[in-house]
Amino acid sequence: MLHVYLILLCGLLANASPQKKGLQKELTLLWRQPFNHNRFTGTSLLYAGETGVLFTQYTDVDESESMCMLDAETGKLSWTWNDYDAHPSTILHCGQQKQVISYPYLFFTSGIGAYTLHVQSGETIMRNPHSFSKAYTQLGNQVLCIQNCAADGIAQVTLVDLLTGTQTPVYKMQAAEQEVLECTAPNYSFADNGDTLVYWMLKRHQIPENQEQNALYGYNLTRKRMIFIHSLVATANYTLVYQDLVIVASSTSVIAVNRQTGRLRWTYPNGGNSGQALQILGNALVFTDPIKGTLTALNPENGALRWETSVHGTCARPQELDGVIYTVNQDNGFLYAVDLQRGTLLWHLASPDLTNDPAAGFSFGFGLDKVRRRLYVGSFLAAYCYQLPLP
């Protein structure tokens, strides 16, 4: 009997969750830095590295933002940046996208222009007054941007120099009468022969028929010719290039097409949301679904479901280290850790201020320094730095 009891006990200990093993308790809070005002209603994180931690803070009152760089070691304020004097609503929630960092430079867009800042000093290096979409990606020393001019019926893909702001048009589309065009989700890859291939999503909205026609475009930038147009039921805000595939997520499905021919490789019906961010973490395609409140992992080669885990709300872009996925749930203010291979919830952590103020939960201000194994998290009140334990 004692022998059987010991076997059962050993089995229970072996299968104990990491949360019960105390991994959560091994997180060390290195610093907490209160924001010096409380008029902001949201935060996001743009950069986390050896130099510091760069947060944006936005307010719903006038839809304006400012940036604050905190010292990575102490959390003390290094510099702040905004353009309120000239343009009271300059950035317009830029922190909700993936930023272009070409250290020591930071590139971002707003509804009234594009900017490049020096990360260490906050100095404005470049300002282009033209309007660009919030969706863009870096291509060498240039940034692949989208310009949507609904009033003129024009949607244009453009390259913008990171330091000078010089624009080079890539492809221009003109809407038909009573039609609205909108491009989004630019990305790129290199063909087997070295040619540069660029991709974007296009939504055509026919006003009289009240119908949408959507497509994924593939364009050979080197040879200046279209390589494919793949029609979709719904538009998407993200594209991901993985090996020989372009993967996009729409409100009805995740699809993968050959990046050089546009031929469909696989489809995963998810009933999700076009705002979800696709990522390759480890060997899995991971995305969040803000409608269902889930974190999902697929096999990127064939679209097969590996696991789906509830994280109970709208989450920030997940990040991974040593086989653990970290994300922040803005709906309940918790930080989550999920096992990459199994999708098992390892632990969750509440903001230290959440017990005192319901509005003080963790927000989309979330980043990971993989070298120094640090998590940086923001709430509406403060910024936090946690040290992760060794694997």
Is residue 9, in this structure, part of any structural domain at all? no
The last residue of one of the domains, among 252, 275, 298, is 275
The last residue of one of the domains, among 247, 275, 303, is 275
Together in a domain, 151 and 224: yes
Alpha-carbon span 345 to 361, nearest angstrom: 19
Specify the residue for token string 């989309």: 364
Together in a domain, 328 and 385: yes
Inter-residue contact 248 to 201 (CB < 8 Å): yes
Q: Return the number of other C-beta atoms located less than 10 Å from residue 251's C-beta.
A: 16
* pLDDT, tens digit (0-9, with 9 covering 90-100), for 183-198: 988 999 999 999 999 9
The last residue of one of the domains, among 257, 275, 293, is 275
Size of the chain, expressed as the number of residues it contains: 391
CATH number at residue 323: 2.40.10.480
Mean per-residue pLDDT for 73-82? 90
Residue 94, helix vs strand vs coil: helix
Domain count across the chain: 3
Alpha-carbon span 374 to 355, nearest angstrom: 24
Q: Is the pLDDT of residue 218 over 70?
A: yes
Q: Is the pLDDT of residue 14 over 70?
A: no
319 token code pair: 């990040």
Together in a domain, 310 and 350: yes
Is residue 314, in this structure, part of any structural domain at all? yes
Alpha-carbon span 168 to 159, nearest angstrom: 5
Amino acid at 266: W
Q: Return the number of other C-beta atoms located less than 10 Å from residue 189's C-beta.
A: 18
* pLDDT, tens digit (0-9, with 9 covering 90-100), for 137-161: 899 889 999 988 877 888 999 999 9
196 token code pair: 């540069």
At 55, give phi and psi (nearest 5°).
-105, 150
Q: Where are the alpha helices (DSSP H) in the chain?
A: 2-14, 18-21
Alpha-carbon span 23 to 17, nearest angstrom: 10
| Residue scoring higher pLDDT (178 or 88) | 178
Together in a domain, 146 and 257: yes
Q: Is the pLDDT of residue 247 over 90?
A: yes
Q: Which residues pair with 79 in a beta bridge?
A: 69
Q: Is the pLDDT of residue 99 over 80?
A: no
From residue 197, give the alpha-carbon distance in Å to each of 37, 162, 241, 292, 322.
Answer: 45, 19, 11, 34, 32
Residue numbers of the domain that contains 265: 132-275
Is residue 383, in this structure, part of any structural domain at all? yes
Inter-residue contact 297 to 284 (CB < 8 Å): yes
Together in a domain, 317 and 391: yes
Inter-residue contact 296 to 279 (CB < 8 Å): no
Lowest mean pLDDT among 30-34, 40-44, 309-313, 353-357: 40-44
Together in a domain, 136 and 199: yes
* pLDDT, tens digit (0-9, with 9 covering 90-100), for 109-137: 866 778 899 998 999 999 888 888 878 88
Name the strand (E) or helix (H) holding 227.
Answer: strand 225-232
| Mean pLDDT computed over every residue of the chain | 82
Together in a domain, 286 and 253: no
This prediction has a pTM of: 0.86
Q: How deeply is 119 buried, as exposed, middle or buried, from its count of CB atoms within 10 A (0-12, 13-18, 19+)? A: buried
